[in-house]
Every structure is written in structure tokens, then in C-alpha cells.
Amino acid sequence: MPQPIDVGSILGGRYKVTGRILASAEDDVILDGLDQVLNRPVSILVSAVGNSQYLTQSAREVATGERVSNVSILDLGSQENSTYLIAARTSPADLLDLVVPSEPAAEGHDAEVYREPFFTDTLGTEIFGSARDAAPAAAAYVYEDDTPLTPARPSPAVRRAPVRPLAGQPAAPPAPTAAVPATPAGPRPVPAAAPAPAAATTATPKVTLWGDDDYGSTNDLQDASGDGGAARKGGTFPAAALAASDSYETDAGEAADDTEEDTDDDTDDGNAPRTGGRWLTGIIVSVLIVAALVFAVSHIGGLFNGGTVAQGDKTTASAAQQSTGAQATSAVPAPAAVPPVIARLTDITNYLPGQTHFNDMFMPRLPDAVDGNKGTYWPTVEFSNDTFAGATDSIDLAIELKQESTISSVTINQIAGSGGQFNIFTNSKASLDGARKIGSGSFSAPDFMLKAASGVKAKYVIVNFTQLPRLQPFKVYPFGLKIAEISVK
């Protein structure tokens, strides 16, 4: 049964069908395609109507990891009652495996996935030598973090670390604790409280108080003036320190005075008059005055020469006339630009003597390259090398415009090609003889645009392919052209 999806179709708004690979006995078709957004080749599987559900199920199983496959799925969709799958380039056998339904689970075998029991948190007890519980115990004690306490994990006994006594203090006996055996469902053991007289005797002060002897004699705190009076009050600076401060201030003042004197000496040296700069300034001013006097005398003398003045008037009048003429010329509006409109596309390739015109078989599809639809394209035959296999030196396409127009840009849209080399010419006839080259380029993306210099006008635009790009994918040979659209603006 023929498929509605064929070469030239666009799937999902971005995947273009570029070739047909094979069709299975059940009418499942494998196609070559191109991701026009990322410019990379893809494989396309269009399933038969009866296999659509199997393709959808297999794609979901591969995406979720339930089914092992070598296919890297990129997209899945439906168009014109046909289900298609977009994948990275892969073999047709792997693609056709996806339309085969998954085998059901064998009878007598449990196909349910094994699930770990909920009490696997007791596995740690098995690591340390105890057997893991078969099930959690009923009414298990619950920690503050809501973790159940099972019989395999008894509550640890609470012990209090002894307090190390300070130096000079008697060691206090540890407080007695009541040993309570741990039970799975019972409350957590609590240490027995020590008697209140016992707490008073064993309490150890955290701060050691100083005695009167620790502060030293009051003579150390008396004023250093020697009057033998009462102890110095808080906030009073000692006299000995004040004396030391006075001596420091005196020394510092003397040093500052010495520094000021040195600074004054340096300042005086710096402010000393420099006669060299004044002499240079005087010479420059004198030269300027002399030049001004010479200029003034020469112009004053010209005032008394009537002929010179009359000749100057004539020169001024001539300059005014030229300025007026230039303004009148600039006021004339420039001719309006004529937008180019394509009339037809012609193959003007010159084949070498004795060589077959290979592209004649695709001549009926030549108008597809200028029909304004990127979904259609004009191809050439596939060549074994990028120099046209010795059949010609170049492939030349002449775009005829309805009238001579202003050319601002030329855009070439191609499919699945990279590299190559081409030149773009303008001419008044469909020939390279006497043509003017306006640019050149190579294919590194699906679209190529050449911006022409300002003021280019022509009746014909000629694209001269001197080297073929490499096709990916290809059927037999890897070099050729697939021109989707050529536009001139």
C-alpha cells in the first residue's frame, strides 16, 4: 500500500524526508531524512496502519528503559493517519525491530519486579552478627526521628562520664545510676536522680575566687609621686607614666621641628626661580609677534593694489557660482531602485567534449529551485569526486530577472551538503563571458546568503559551482547538489 509520507515531506515542522531506503513486506517504510534545525541526518520509520500501535508501544518501552534497543529515539508523531518515528542514523534492521510487539511473560513465571521489604533498615544488625528480623515487632519504641526500635536494636544503656576535678579540689564520687534493662516496647531508661545533699558536696565551682593576697599590697597601687597618700583611684593615670609621656612629647616635638626645618629648606630650593623656562617663553612670543607683523603688512599692501582686489572679487564670484551649481546637482533625485523578480532558471553548464550530460535527467525539476517552496528541490546526479568526475569543469545556473534590477543579496538554500565552492556573477546575458563577480562562498549550513555591494545592477545572476559539496546521506556516491531554493533581493 503506498505511504502518504514520501520524499520532500516535512515531519514535525523540522524533519525533511530526503530519500527512500526500503519497504518491508508489511508496508513498513524506512526513509532518510534531515533535521533542518540542527542540520544533521536522521532515520525515519513510517509504520503500516496495522503496526502503529506496536511502534508506539516499543518507542515508549525504549524511552523508559523497559526494552533494550540500539535505536536512539529523537521524536515520535503522526501525520496523515501514519505513525512515524525519528531516530539517529541507524541500521534498517534495528528500526524494523520496533514494529515487532514485545513477547509476553512466560506462563508459570512471576513477571512482577522484586521489591525490597519495608524493614530493610535492620540490615545493619545482620552486618554486625545478628540475624535480620523477619518482620518489625509490634508496638515498637519510636525515636524522636520516628525510627522504629526493633528487638534486634535494643536501646543502649545511659551512662554519665565522670567529671575531672580541678587542681586542689577533692574528687567527687560519681552519682549513682539505676540500671534498667532495655525492652523493645518499654520506655527509654532514665538515670536515677542523686540526693540533693550529695549534689551540694560534689558541685565543683567553675570560677576560682581570688583572695586578698592575690591583689598584692596597697603600696603598689599608690600614686608614684611619692606623697604616700591613699591608693590611686580608678581612671587616674600613674605619675611615672605621665612623666614618661612628657619626655616622649618633648623628644617628638624636637624631631618635628627638625623635620619642618628640612622641609622648609627643600621648599625654598623647589621655589627657586628658573631662568631657562622664561627665556624659552620669551623667544616663542617674539617669533609669534614677528609672524603676525609680516602677515599684517602683506595684506595691508594688497589693499592699495586695485587689480589684485578685482581679481579676488572675480575668484569669489566664480566660487559662488560653482557652489550654486553643486547644490542644484545634488537636488536632482537619484533613480529609484528596481526590486528583482525571477523570471526563470536555466542550466548553462558546458560539458567537456565526449562527456554525457548527466543532469539532463533532472531538467524537469529545475524550476523547483526558484518556486519559493523550500519543500521541493533540484538535485544533480551523485559524483564519485568533488570535481564532477571529469565530465565538466563547473555546473552553472543562470537566474534570469524580468528586468534589469538592483541586486542587494543572493541566498542559496541547499540540503544535506557541506563544503564545496561556488562563485556568483552578474551579467546582461546568460553567459559567463563578460560577467562580473560579486562574491563567492562554501556550504557550512543549510542556508548561504551573499550581500552584494551597493549599486550592483544586472539582468542575470549566475551561480558557478566549481567544487561539489559532500552529501550526507547519499545513495551511491558522496558528492552532488540538492538546491532547495535560490532567491535574489
Residue 181 has pLDDT above 80, yes or no: no
Residue 416 has pLDDT above 60, yes or no: yes
Q: SS3 for 125?
A: helix
Confidence of residue 185 (pLDDT cuts 50, 70, 90): very low
pLDDT at 65: 87
pLDDT at 475: 87
Confidence of residue 127 (pLDDT cuts 50, 70, 90): low
* Percent of the chain that is helix, strand, coil (3-state, to 5): 30, 25, 45
pLDDT at 295: 85
Cβ partners under 8 Å of residue 156, min gap 6: 182
Q: Which residues pair with 273 in a beta bridge?
A: none
pLDDT tens-digit map of 268-284: 455 555 666 788 898 99
Kindly report the CATH number assigned to the domain that includes residue 397.
2.60.120.260
Query: Domain for residue 264, yes or no?
Result: no
CB atoms within 10 A of CB 450: 18
DSSP assigned state of 155: P
- The reported pTM is 0.37
Give the orientation angle of helix 275-303 with respect to helix 306-330, to 10 degrees: 90
pLDDT tens-digit map of 197-209: 734 445 555 566 6
pLDDT tens-digit map of 95-109: 998 888 766 544 444
Least Cα distance to 412 among 328, 345, 312, 335 occurs for 345
Cβ partners under 8 Å of residue 118, min gap 6: 136
- Of 70, 99, 128, which residue constitutes the final position of a domain? 99
Query: Domain for residue 294, yes or no?
Result: no
Residue owning grid cell 527512500: 20
Is residue 99 within 8 A of residue 28, CB to CB? The reply is yes
Within its chain, how far is the Cα of 397 from the centroid?
40
Rounded Cα–Cα distance for residues 379 and 483 (Å): 6
Residue 236 has pLDDT above 60, yes or no: no
Residue 195 has pLDDT above 80, yes or no: no
Query: Domain for residue 473, yes or no?
Result: yes
Query: Domain for residue 383, yes or no?
Result: yes
Confidence of residue 12 (pLDDT cuts 50, 70, 90): confident
Q: Residue range 344-351: average pLDDT?
A: 93
Q: For the ranges 26-40, 154-168, 475-489, which has the lowest average pLDDT?
A: 154-168
Rounded Cα–Cα distance for residues 75 and 82 (Å): 14
Kindly report the CATH number assigned to the domain that includes residue 28.
3.30.200.20
Cell reading at 186: 518499654
Return the higher-pLDDT residue of 290 and 2: 290
Average confidence score pLDDT of the chain:
73
Q: Where do the H-state alpha helices sit in 271-373?
A: 275-303, 306-330
pLDDT at 274: 60
pLDDT tens-digit map of 294-334: 888 777 765 555 444 444 454 555 555 565 555 545 554 55
**Count of domains for the chain:** 2
Query: Domain for residue 74, yes or no?
Result: yes
Range(s) of the domain holding residue 62:
10-99
Rounded Cα–Cα distance for residues 13 and 445 (Å): 18
Within its chain, how far is the Cα of 50 from the centroid?
45
- Of 99, 117, 132, which residue constitutes the final position of a domain? 99
